[in-house]
Structure 1
Amino acid sequence: MKNQATTFLLIAAVVICLAAHDLCLANPKITRCRCVQVSSSFIHPKKFQHIDIFPQNSYCRKVEIIITLKNNAQICVNPQAVWVKRVINILTERK
């Protein structure tokens, strides 16, 4: 009986450790900024497929905006560019 209880506790401890390890490594890709280089060049909204806005976090201390074009190319744009601010304002007003 003691051996079964010990075995059960050992297996439970291993399972808990593995679960905790997976939680710590839930998304290892996001450990730095996504955008290495940003563009301020105008991109016509007709070419947009969608826009992703990533706020500041512990890994990246700047706001990042990634535009995915209809040809699936992804472009990081400067959030301080005037045209980007206008597009974001228009999109938020629609919602």
Structure 2
Amino acid sequence: MTMTTRILLLLAVTVCITVAQRSVSQRCLCRRVRNSFGAPNSVEDIQIYPPTPSCDRLEFIVSLKNGVQYCLDPSMKKVQKLLTRLMKKSAPQTVTTPTEATPNDSSIDSADI
């Protein structure tokens, strides 16, 4: 083999290894996304997967009652509204009420020490 052939072969192998590593590192669940919702009454479950080191995308997977699953595009306005609603619903609702401080007879005052 000539030197040019060896260099081209080495370059081709390097490119193949780089492409293979990139595809292994991106292990996302959604390869394709839909831009439309199905019928809301046929939805059984919605799973939200945040970005991870193995997949840098936010993924929405919808499971229908008939067993079909599909991914939604997270950049859709409807999906963003749904996420906002779900976040508000899952946030703990805490209400603080003012209380009046009453002196406790068993408390020790720093002046008593």
TM-score of Structure 1 vs Structure 2, range by shorter chain: 0.5 to 0.7
Equivalent-residue separation in structure 2 for 1:91 and 1:45 (angstroms): 15
TM-score by length of 2: 0.52
2:57 to 36, 52, 62: 62
Shift of 1:43: 2.3
* Runs ≥4 residues deviating over 6 A: none
2:32 to 37, 40, 63: 37
- The residue correspondences of 1:1-95 to structure 2 (distance < 5 A) are 32-95=27-90
Aligned CA distance change for structure 1 residues 89 and 66 (closer, same or farther; 3 Å): same
Q: Which one scores higher on RCO, CA 8 angstroms, separation ≥ 6? A: 1
How high is the sequence identity, in percent, across the aligned residues?
32
TM-score by length of 1: 0.61
Aligned residues: 66
Equivalent-residue separation in structure 2 for 1:33 and 1:66 (angstroms): 11
Shift of 1:72: 1.2
Shift of 1:40: 0.9
Q: Secondary structure at the match of 2:88?
A: helix
Amino acid in structure 1 at the alignment position of 2:73: N
Gaps of 5+ in 2: 1-25, 91-113
Q: Secondary structure at the match of 1:52?
A: strand
Q: Secondary structure at the match of 1:68?
A: strand
Root-mean-square deviation (CA, aligned residues, Å) is 1.9
Structure number, greater radius of gyration:
2
